[in-house]
A = this chain, B = another copy of it.
Amino acid sequence: SEPFSNLPSICTALFEAKAAKGLTFEQIGNAIGRNEVWVASAFYAQAKLSKDELNALAQTLDIDQSSLNAELGEHWFPRRSIGPAIPTDPVIYRLYEGVMVYGNSIKVVIHEKFGDGIMSMIDCEVDIQKKPTDKGEHVVLTFEGKYLPYKKW
């Protein structure tokens, strides 16, 4: 679970502290008041923690608060988007395959239901649920993003 090498070194410390404490992202999310997927993205330096969240995180993981602030504090800003351009890990590739196979269909249905615009990936929430079924467990992955119509001028 070591993060990518071009991320702030504090990320490794976060993952290690989490492993040492034996906490899940859900538990950490509850402790700082955020969804588990968002918390995981903060661990990968893909989201920015507020001052209060940093403090809560330091307390939850028994990490030194000042070093957390020194690396991920107010002045810090995320370089989002990590990993190879065409993902190769099977879990992430399946998501990419979903974009390649269903992307045009999603686009055309969004156009039909909403108009000429996009689903924002900035004003967007990502959620994962476990759903038991007769034939085994299902992963329910939801993106809920604001619809943004193209401006004309």
Contact = CB atoms under 8 A, between A and B. Distances in A.
Interface in A97-143: 97-114, 116-128, 130-131, 135-143
Given A103-B95, A128-B109, A89 B81 contact: yes
B153 A108 contact: no
Nearest to A105: B40
Contacts of A44: 104-105
The oligomer's copy count stands at 10
A138 B106 CA distance: 14
Given A40-B104, A118-B94, A142 B140 contact: yes
Main secondary structure of the interface of A (DSSP, over half): mixed
Interface residues of A, number: 98
Given A34-B153, A103-B83, A91 B120 contact: no
A85 B88 contact: yes
Contact of A99 (B92, B109, B139): B92
A131 B110 CA distance: 12
Contacts of A1: 75-77, 108
Given A90-B81, A119-B94, A105 B37 contact: yes
Contacts of A146: 135-139
10 contacts: A22-B75, A40-B108, A46-B104, A81-B90, A83-B100, A83-B104, A89-B107, A92-B99, A94-B121, A95-B143
